[in-house]
Structure 1
Amino acid sequence: MIGLVLAAGAGRRLRPYTDTLPKALVPVGPAGIEDGSDGLTVLDLTLANFAEIGLTEAGIIVGYRKEAVQERKAALEQKYGLKLTLIDNDKAEEWNNAYSLWCGRDALKDGVILANGDTVHPVSVEKTLLAARGDGKRIILALDTVKTLADEEMKVVADPATGVRRITKLMDPAEATGEYIGVTLIEGEAAADLADALRTTFERDPQLYYEDGYQELVDRGFRIDVAPIGEVDWVEIDNHDDLARGREIACRY
């Protein structure tokens, strides 16, 4: 099993940082470290989690400002003891992340822990996913069942007997079992099915999310499971308020 990070996004709501950096390299260390060169980024935190659970390789799907990731690749490999492979998304500034994850379809064959490049979270999330493996589970989503949900969250309806039934932002929060936090364990035997569902999804609409690809799988009768993460502080960084929250959380890990 390897790690896989979606780090191709531009994150325009995080300007001016993202004028020169992809979203995954926006600094989440101390607020005084404004260029992120000597401080933590979301990518740093994710790679540290991968290393802590014993992974030795990771793929990083890059696109927008990919040269910034390339410049740091050797230093990140040395710091975290991971062999890193950069996977190019040639449409990162045009299409949404269903296509981005499809670009990593070859990596999926090894089995991956997938993490969004904008999610600050502790290693307990990865450990929860690993503990949930087995019993024929092929895809397991990290699910926050504690947080109070609103309109923007990626909401999930799941049943213990049948797994995920719906995953979408376009749902009444009261109907949801919880929020998908952007971290998934994908077994290698799910790779071909997931890649095909992702292709169907972005061919239908290039602006769809990879979570829409998960829904496509569910609609085809493929079971996707969830693993509740418990009382965990985490944040998806979309804007400057989220970034302030991410910095607050990151200093605890």
Structure 2
Amino acid sequence: MIGLVLAAGAGRRLRPYTDTLPKALVPVGPEGDEEAKTILDLTLANFAEVGLTDIAVVVGYRKEAVYERKAELERTYGVNLTLIDNDKAEEWNNAYSLWCAREVLKQGALLANGDTVHPVSVEKSLLAARGQGRRIILALDTEKKLADEEMKVVVDPEQGVRRITKLMDPDTAGGEYIGLTLIEPEAAEPLADALRATFEKDPDLYYEDGYQELVDRGFKIDTASIGAVEWVEIDNHDDLAKGRDIACRY
């Protein structure tokens, strides 16, 4: 199994940081600290802690910044990085971005969005949930009070995920998908096919829409609760402030 990070996004709401950097390389340490850890640093550290040292990173917007840091990141975290270019990162949404990694998914992958600050306990929860025929496992926050922006999930105890979308009444959802997924090798080809169908239907769709496509085809997707942990998806400057507060605790 490998680690996989989606780090192709532009993150325009985080300007001026993202004028020159992809969102995954925005610092989440103290303001003005040039040595501060980035979102990508934290994710690589988590992967290394759970024994994932072969890691693929899908890059696109300002990808040269990731290429420049590749050797340094490998030395710092004791990992081997493979960078995968997304040639449509500024045009299409992340269903296509995950599809770009379809070959490495065949090894099995622990996927993390490149904008999620979270503790290593999330990776540990996903790895602990393996087995019993589970092929795709989503990390789910069942503690948070949900609103309109969250990626909401409806789960059936027997059938697994039934719906995953932002476009849902928060009161009907059982939790929020936080941007981390464990994908077993046998799920790679069905997932790649569902992702292709998704972005061919509409290139603006999310990879979570690809998960819904899988569910609609009868594929079971499971979930693992992350418990009461602090995490944040960093989309804007308010999120970044929260991310800095969280990052200094882990």
Q: Which bin holds the TM-score, normalised by the shorter protein?
A: over 0.9
Query: Residue by residue, what CA displacement relative to the aligned partner does 1:38-79 show, whole Å, maximum 9, x if unpaired?
Result: 110000000000000011100000000000000000000000
Give unmatched runs, 5+ long, in structure 1.
Answer: none
User: Separation in 2 of the partners of 1:56 and 1:121?
Assistant: 18
After TM superposition, give the deviation of residue 159 of structure 1 in Å: 1.3
User: Separation in 1 of the partners of 2:30 and 2:72?
Assistant: 20
The reply on whether 1:164 has 2:152 as its aligned counterpart is no
**SS of equivalent to 1:64:** coil
Identify the residue that residue 240 of structure 2 maps to in structure 1: 243
User: Separation in 1 of the partners of 2:218 and 2:166?
Assistant: 21
Identify the residue that residue 154 of structure 1 maps to in structure 2: 151
Identify the residue that residue 112 of structure 2 maps to in structure 1: 115
User: Separation in 2 of the partners of 1:182 and 1:78?
Assistant: 26
Query: Residue by residue, what CA displacement relative to the aligned partner does 1:100-134 show, whole Å, maximum 9, x if unpaired?
Result: 00000001000000000000000000000000000
User: Separation in 1 of the partners of 2:237 and 2:14?
Assistant: 6
**SS of equivalent to 1:147:** coil
User: Separation in 2 of the partners of 1:3 and 1:160?
Assistant: 28
User: Separation in 1 of the partners of 2:199 and 2:61?
Assistant: 19
User: Separation in 2 of the partners of 1:56 and 1:30?
Assistant: 27
- Runs of 4+ in structure 1 deviating by more than 2 angstroms, as ranges, are none
After TM superposition, give the deviation of residue 32 of structure 1 in Å: 2.5
Identify the residue that residue 96 of structure 1 maps to in structure 2: 93
Give unmatched runs, 5+ long, in structure 2.
Answer: none
Identify the residue that residue 47 of structure 2 maps to in structure 1: 50
Q: Which one-letter code corresponds to 1:30 in the other structure?
A: P
Identify the residue that residue 19 of structure 1 maps to in structure 2: 19
User: Separation in 1 of the partners of 2:156 and 2:75?
Assistant: 42
Q: Which one-letter code corresponds to 1:24 in the other structure?
A: A
User: Separation in 1 of the partners of 2:78 and 2:192?
Assistant: 29
Determine which of 230, 234, 243 is the counterpart of 2:231.
234
Query: TM-score with structure 1 length normalisation?
Result: 0.98
User: Separation in 1 of the partners of 2:20 and 2:81?
Assistant: 22
User: Separation in 1 of the partners of 2:201 and 2:171?
Assistant: 29
Q: Which one-letter code corresponds to 1:7 in the other structure?
A: A
The reply on whether 1:200 has 2:204 as its aligned counterpart is no
Identify the residue that residue 7 of structure 1 maps to in structure 2: 7
**SS of equivalent to 2:131:** coil
Aligned length: 250
Determine which of 178, 182, 185 is the counterpart of 2:179.
182
User: Separation in 2 of the partners of 1:252 and 1:89?
Assistant: 33
Q: Which one-letter code corresponds to 2:215 in the other structure?
A: V
User: Separation in 1 of the partners of 2:173 and 2:225?
Assistant: 13
Q: Alignment RMSD, CA only? A: 0.5
Identify the residue that residue 206 of structure 2 maps to in structure 1: 209
User: Separation in 2 of the partners of 1:104 and 1:172?
Assistant: 32
After TM superposition, give the deviation of residue 160 of structure 1 in Å: 1.6
